[in-house]
Structure 1
Amino acid sequence: MLGRAAVVDGIGGYVPPELVTNDDLAQRLDTSDAWIRSRTGIAERYVVSPGTATSDLAVEAGLRALKSAGDGRVDAVVLATTTPDQPCPGTAPQVAARLGLGQVAAFDVAAVCSGFLYGLAAASGLIAANIADRVLLIAADAFTTIVNPADRTTAVIFADGAGAVVLRAGAASEAGALGPLVLGSDGELSHLIEVPAGGSRQRSAGPPADPDDQYFRMLGRDTYRHAVERMTSASTQAAELAGWRLDDIDRFAAHQANARILTSVAERLAVPAERQLSNIEQVGNTGAASIPLLLAQAASDGRLRAGHRVLLTAFGGGLSWGATTLVWPEVHSV
């Protein structure tokens, strides 16, 4: 752990104002509040209004993280998202411009719900290589724009939101310094989580895409099994590399996929309920945004405090997964 480390210096989160409850969804889908709660743990979620894009969410979260850090200067912007404003160009440069950050380096990271962990790796690399002293990492998804509104299996789960952190160069011994990052992928199982149409493979095939292929799809049972296995394994590795025992963990912040997955992973890691951070009941699955949004909310309401040893883990399409650790610093969520 020599050289420059990436240290959390600010954090912010944002969800759009439009609230959708389970009862709202039951008015147009063959479902009910009880059915949704029992299978996902979700009661309500926030969704974008017509005309609102991922960049709009990202800018709001970015502003809050910069304010939290008390310093609006950064050398790079990394945006983790599955729902860019358009296929080309990347969305990060537009976000940087709208934030008034000048002509800084800016690029997107695509790792679906693992995007924040992969974004942490990218931002840490920029800092470790002396390319940047300060990096704004934003994870934002307008996931409801790619979910079939008539698909009960996905429409009740996914929601929209953004979370952001400012990372600065510092020492590995500081509070807020990221611990070792564990990342992995398995492209042989990419079909478990996908949007089949819209890319070069479908477009080069010639015939127009089936309308249903333009929406997100997920094979739930297989995804559940791999999510539990991969997040458990990655979490165990990250704790070991940091020199922590699992019972050293004060707060466990996992990607808010669904309540059943969260419970299964926590049980395997023997993390008691009072140490688990969760907001899935109130905001649903917000894709790449879920972990930083959760951290921002927990820091704001007091569930996450300076000195807490925190374990982060995520799983998403690719398949992709990751985990890392940090001791929470004295930062205030905005």
Structure 2
Amino acid sequence: MTLYARIAGTGSYLPEQRLDNDAMVARLAALNIETSDEWIFTRSGISARHFAAENELTSDLAVKAAQAALASAGVNADELDLIILATSTPDHLGGFPSTACVVQDKLGAHNQCAAFDVQAVCAGFMYALATADAFIRTGTYKKVMVIGAETFSRILDFKDRTTSVLFGDGAGAVILEASSEPGILSTALHADGSQRAILCVPGRSTQGGIAGSAFMTMDGPAVFKLAVKVLEQVAREALEKAHLEPEQIDWLVPHQANIRIMESTARKMGLGMEKVIVTVHEHGNTSAASIPLALDCGVRSGQIQRGHRLLLEGVGGGFAWGAVVVKY
């Protein structure tokens, strides 16, 4: 029997602290940085974002999203065979113990299921989803939780208005189950390390300190140019693997980085924006969390229905990018 990985449930979580553009303008003004709601919105489509509280860790956001996904799927934490967590902002310096292991403990998953983190920045959820799909298709695991969770507010330089206004915190999760019915239809992943300098955190840990900057840096125009190019390419590759044409897709669920990138991708694929799940206006760029957050919003709003074909795609630092075609 051919095995597929089927999405059995989705969940998401946003921190309580919501900052609209006016609040961000006031925050930056206190640092003598000038910006405006119009400047932010016209360049990104972002009106608001959420920031984690001082005592909230990435694992805390991930657990809330995971609990919602478990409830949606009707699955107990002890039934999980594997937890994969995509993040660039782990709980611990150096990334260990893995935040996935922390989530396992906080969820009360006492069956000692496997757990590990994946680091591919904004493409992290695509990498994690493809990895989970492979485990299920080979029969290694039957129930896998895939999470994208970030506290990007911790690595933002608020003196840099070109980056600080774009990002937010949040988490999204899905439960994948082995099924005889098609679920994940295809995956496509790529990376180009030669482009790593255009979006990165350049600092390094050294003898208890930081060598270089611990803040994220980004060459916005270079990122935009690369993103619109590779997203179309990887989307068409994933569709070809699934033997589908763009017009057969019910919903495009893209990484929520910038509305102009999303519009460009949709236009190149011949898809109207009415077929695109858009949350960037309310969430900002939540990196690895953005696609599962948007997916869960689409499901819970009733836009995404069982049987719909979805095209998920994301690109981020590394540079890394990927796409996944799903029959929901």
* TM-score, length of structure 2 as denominator length: 0.94
> Which residue of 1 is the match for residue 305 of structure 2?
305
2:173 to 164, 167, 189: 164
SS of the residue aligned with 2:27?
Answer: coil
C-alpha separation between the residues in 1 aligned to 2:209 and 2:149? 32
Whether 1:56 aligns to 2:60 is yes
> Which residue of 2 is the match for residue 85 of structure 1?
91
Whether 1:116 aligns to 2:120 is no
Q: CA 1:240/1:208 → structure 2, altered by over 3 Å: closer, same or farther?
A: closer
> Which residue of 1 is the match for residue 185 of structure 2?
179
SS of the residue aligned with 1:39?
Answer: helix
C-alpha separation between the residues in 1 aligned to 2:202 and 2:145? 31
Whether 1:153 aligns to 2:162 is yes
SS of the residue aligned with 2:185?
Answer: coil
Q: Deviations over 1:219-260 (max 9, x none)?
A: 100100111111110001111111111111111110001111
2:201 to 192, 195, 204: 195
> Which residue of 1 is the match for residue 10 of structure 2?
11
C-alpha separation between the residues in 2 aligned to 1:252 and 1:227? 16
> Which residue of 1 is the match for residue 31 of structure 2?
none
Q: Deviations over 1:130-167 (max 9, x none)?
A: 22110011110001111112210111000000000000
Whether 1:28 aligns to 2:23 is no
C-alpha separation between the residues in 2 aligned to 1:181 and 1:157? 28
Which AA in structure 2 matches 1:36?
A: I
CA contact (8 A) 2:22 2:37 kept: yes
Which AA in structure 2 matches 1:182?
A: A
> Which residue of 1 is the match for residue 51 of structure 2?
47
Q: Structure 1 stretches of 5 or more lacking a match?
A: 329-334
Q: How many residues align?
A: 318
Shift of 1:209: 2.4
| Superposed counterparts of 1:267-278, under 5 Å | 267-278=267-278
C-alpha separation between the residues in 1 aligned to 2:176 and 2:120? 20
Shift of 1:326: 1.3
> Which residue of 1 is the match for residue 245 of structure 2?
245
C-alpha separation between the residues in 2 aligned to 1:298 and 1:5? 22
Q: Identity, % of aligned pairs?
A: 39
C-alpha separation between the residues in 2 aligned to 1:159 and 1:26? 15
> Which residue of 2 is the match for residue 71 of structure 1?
75
Q: CA 1:216/1:208 → structure 2, altered by over 3 Å: closer, same or farther?
A: closer
> Which residue of 1 is the match for residue 211 of structure 2?
209
> Which residue of 2 is the match for residue 38 of structure 1?
42
SS of the residue aligned with 1:83?
Answer: coil
Which AA in structure 2 matches 1:137?
A: V
Shift of 1:123: 0.9
Shift of 1:270: 1.0
Which AA in structure 2 matches 1:98?
A: K
CA contact (8 A) 2:149 2:170 kept: yes
C-alpha separation between the residues in 1 aligned to 2:169 and 2:210? 28
SS of the residue aligned with 1:278?
Answer: coil
Shift of 1:208: 5.4
C-alpha separation between the residues in 2 aligned to 1:253 and 1:208? 37
> Which residue of 1 is the match for residue 144 of structure 2?
135
C-alpha separation between the residues in 1 aligned to 2:199 and 2:59? 23
CA contact (8 A) 2:204 2:210 kept: no
C-alpha separation between the residues in 2 aligned to 1:314 and 1:122? 15
Q: CA 1:250/1:149 → structure 2, altered by over 3 Å: closer, same or farther?
A: same
1:97 to 75, 98, 105: 105
Shift of 1:308: 1.6
C-alpha separation between the residues in 2 aligned to 1:69 and 1:235? 28
Shift of 1:207: 9.0
C-alpha separation between the residues in 2 aligned to 1:9 and 1:44? 30
C-alpha separation between the residues in 1 aligned to 2:290 and 2:228? 17
C-alpha separation between the residues in 1 aligned to 2:69 and 2:121? 22
C-alpha separation between the residues in 2 aligned to 1:274 and 1:196? 38
Pick which of 308-317 and 2-11 moved more: 2-11
C-alpha separation between the residues in 1 aligned to 2:308 and 2:156? 36
Q: Structure 2 stretches of 5 or more lacking a match?
A: 29-33
